[in-house]
Amino acid sequence: MPDDSAPSAVLPAPTRPRGTRMLAPLGSLLAYLRSEPFAAVGAAIYAVIVVVAIFAPQIAPYDPHDLLMTNHRLAKSLPVSAAHWLGTTADSRDIFSELVYGTRAALEVGLTAAFAVVAIGTFLGLLAGYLGGWTDKVIIRFSDIVLGLPFLPSLLVVTSLTQPGTVTIIIVVGALLWPNTARVIRAQVLSLRERAWVDAARVTGCSSTRIMFVHVLPQVMPLAALYGSVAIGWAILAEAAASFLGFGDPNTVSWGVMLQNAYSNQALSLGQWNWFVPPGAAILLMVLAGFLIARGSEKLLFPKLAEQ
């Protein structure tokens, strides 16, 4: 009879192939998108915009800066046709090509400004929530002042006093939109700093800096990314508004500049919908995508909402 007291052989735990481990986060993301249609639609819109921006030279039939000719004449205000899918502008440029290349300016402004908003808001919210005391009071009072500044007038004043362009818009958006992110991050950090694992980190000798940026920061990053997706839409609206009012860079191909050119050439009164509707719809889709991602991520960040 076999000896039951003899130690049995210990089999090694099965390991997943390296490729499977790398695909696990992608599978989780796809499963999440399937369960949240709002976030899936928003992510799909962003994906299309990114693809169009990357392959703009291959998609656009013309250079957006070229003055086009037809029958030895400038191709001014041509209607929609097979040669020009959205017609041409009053200065003989292809509208579809401008729309395609405008995705690059939208991504440049949206992503860079959103990163600035998230970086500033998360950093200041982390300091205010964890350190408390006079640091918290100074940051909160400063955020109150920034929140009291009107967004669009402040943007126009700064761009009029400096050099108009993409960089100025990104700086202004980052400087004016961080308070909301900072306040939400601060509230989350106030809750996290009372957790047992934070006390355990203090007992083991971790400094406040290490606890904030190594232990607490990863816990609030999903919430910061959520506000970043909303900031993308705000940044694109800011660029469009500044360009429409004449404070943008006229040498940059953007949707806001397209709307400004259409307005100055009376496209609406002339019924040239093919000039002003496409860039307006593109701006609407970009802003809508950020809202849909934020709406679809609520249950992921706040599980109690799923129970209601």
Q: What is the pLDDT of residues 185-238, one digit of tens each?
A: 999 999 888 888 888 888 888 888 889 988 899 888 888 888 888 888 888 888
8 A C-beta contact, residue 282 and residue 48 = no
pLDDT at position 232, please?
87
Least confident of 13-27, 74-88, 141-155: 13-27
Is pLDDT at 157 greater than 90 in this prediction? no
pLDDT at position 240, please?
87
* Domain boundaries 36-300, corresponding CATH code: 1.10.3720.10
pLDDT at position 31, please?
65
Q: What is the pLDDT of residues 241-292, one digit of tens each?
A: 888 888 877 788 899 889 999 998 988 888 899 999 999 999 999 889 888 8
Structural domain spans, the chain: 36-300
pLDDT, average across residues 123-129: 94
All residues at 6 or more sequence positions from 70 whose CB lies less than 8 Å from its CB, including other chains: 78
pLDDT at position 237, please?
87
pLDDT at position 14, please?
47
And the tokens for 152?
């669009």
Reported residue count of the chain is: 308
Cα angle 115, 116, 120 (rounded to 5 degrees) comes to 115
CB 87: neighbour CB atoms within 10 A? 19
pLDDT at position 246, please?
80
Q: What is the pLDDT of residues 47-96, one digit of tens each?
A: 999 999 999 999 999 999 888 888 888 888 899 999 899 999 998 999 99
Q: What is the mean pLDDT of the chain?
A: 83
Cα angle 33, 116, 218 (rounded to 5 degrees) comes to 55
